[in-house]
Each structure stands twice: as C-alpha cells, then as structure tokens.
Amino acid sequence: MAKEYPYVTRLDVRFRHLEVIDIPAIVKECTDRWFNQTLTKVNDSVVRIGIVQGEYHWHKHDNDDECFFVLEGKLLIDLQDHTIELGPSQGVTITKGTVHRTRAPEKTVMLMVETSAIRPTGD
C-alpha cells in the first residue's frame, strides 16, 4: 500500500493544447499549502504547477529527471550534501536517482517539467 502524504496532487491534465494557461488565476484560486496540478502534456512530458509552502519529504525518482522553475517566492532543494536555493526566474534540473527534498519558507509558485509517468512522491 502506498504511503499517504498531506499534499494535494492532481495528475489530470487541466489544459488541452491551444487552451490558455492562466497562472495568476490558478494561484488566486488555490487555498492549499502544498498543491501540484498537471497543466499540460508536451509529448511524453508534463508541465505542472506547484503552489507550496512548507516542506516535502525526502525522495528520489529512479527513472526520471525533474526540472523546477520558480515564478514567485523561494524554493530550497536539499540534496544529501548541500542545498540549492532558487528565487524567481531561476530553475534547476535534478538528475534521476538523486535523493532530494523541496522546501518553501514562504508561499512559492513554481513550474515543474517531468515525464508523465513520474510518481511525484518518489519511487
């Protein structure tokens, strides 16, 4: 049985091709402290929005790289030996198999690009 986490994760594709994706409207309607929504699918990958505050659990993705790009706020990505700090208009790709944890000391809005098969909570 998969472990349950206190995050709202919506893996359904919210916007079809040629539909306008309105990030400020999505942020305005969000009331959760840790929210992920798949926005659109691009070939075999998806673009997700994360609206987060607090910390995620330590995890890894054995078969999938994961890209984080911050739009608003501050995102800390803890690795085993150091922490990467991202502010607005900054991003980083975490290599598959890398154990990591994301933290947001303030409300943070980010985009994530990853394969559509990825399990957001890790392998």
pLDDT (tens digit, 9 = 90+) per residue, 36-91? 999 999 999 999 999 999 999 999 999 999 999 999 999 999 999 999 999 999 99
The domains located in the chain, with CATH, are 8-115 (2.60.120.10)
Only one residue has tokens 């840790």, namely: 34
Q: What is the DSSP letter of 2?
A: P
CA 111 to chain CA mean position, Å: 6
Alpha helices (H) along the chain: 23-29
> The tokens of 109 are what?
């809005």
By the 8 A CB rule, do 21 and 75 touch? no
By residue count, the chain amounts to 123
Model-wide pTM > 0.85: yes
Indicate the average pLDDT of the chain. 95
